[in-house]
Amino acid sequence: MPKAPPAAPLLRVRDLHRSFGDLHVLAGLDLELASGEALALIGPNGAGKSTALRCIAGADQATSGTVELDGAPLDERSPATRRDLAVVMDDLDFFPDLSVVEHLNLLARAHQVAEPDDLVDAVLADVGLQRQAAQLPGTLSSGQRRRLALASAFVRPRRLLILDEPEQRLDAAGLAWLADRLNAEKADGLGILLVSHDTDLVDAVADWVLDLGEL
């Protein structure tokens, strides 16, 4: 009996290049990620980790190379990609006049999740922002703003989670929560691509580690 062709990985990046003038930040990055797995990009400051995430997520234009989601070119404008891809970068942008709960409600409803109020309540409790639900982003502490950014990814549909230094500004309890949450996401079948300088988080979550400082 003929064998079925192997399923495409959730994410496949081939020969990704990104240069800024004569600075070759990415010079042929290859990676693959399956559903239910986490891949951590590590490396020193300036190694190109955020550049890689931005090019993969479509926030920056690679000089050359391919990025595929489920075997099709990843197009951040397509409805399918926008449904599947949840991105939390390190630049946190919020509407200054929408409260915490209003942000999360807006996202859940825009992504047409079932029972948005229940999901938002659950995520608020999970990220520890229940008491801050009515506050505006400008009144949150920096760690609370990071929690809101992470919460934004958890109130929407997703199959691939891309996270740039999600550990930033989290306290010890927040870091423990983050590792548990990301492992729960993996158990739910999500693929996770993260950049992190936190070796404990990488050890706790990553199935694969790619050191961009060594490429």
Ligand X SMILES: Nc1ncnc2c1ncn2[C@@H]1O[C@H](COP(=O)(O)OP(=O)(O)OP(=O)(O)O)[C@@H](O)[C@H]1O
User: Which residues of this chain interact with ligand X, rule CB under 6 A?
Assistant: 20, 23, 25, 43, 45-51
Question: Minimum CB separation from ligand X for residue 84, in Å?
Answer: 24
Comparing CB distances to ligand X, the nearer of 25 and 127 is: 25
Question: Minimum CB separation from ligand X for residue 53, in Å?
Answer: 8
Question: Minimum CB separation from ligand X for residue 170, in Å?
Answer: 16
Name the amino acid, one letter, at 67.
V
Comparing CB distances to ligand X, the nearer of 53 and 101 is: 53
Name the amino acid, one letter, at 207.
D
Name the amino acid, one letter, at 145.
R
Element (H, E) at 152: helix 142-154
Comparing CB distances to ligand X, the nearer of 84 and 198 is: 198
The 10 Å Cβ neighbour count of residue 94 is 17
- Alpha-carbon span 70 to 76, nearest angstrom: 14
| Main-chain dihedrals φ then ψ at residue 201, nearest 5 degrees | -65, -45
Question: Minimum CB separation from ligand X for residue 102, in Å?
Answer: 30
Comparing CB distances to ligand X, the nearer of 36 and 43 is: 43
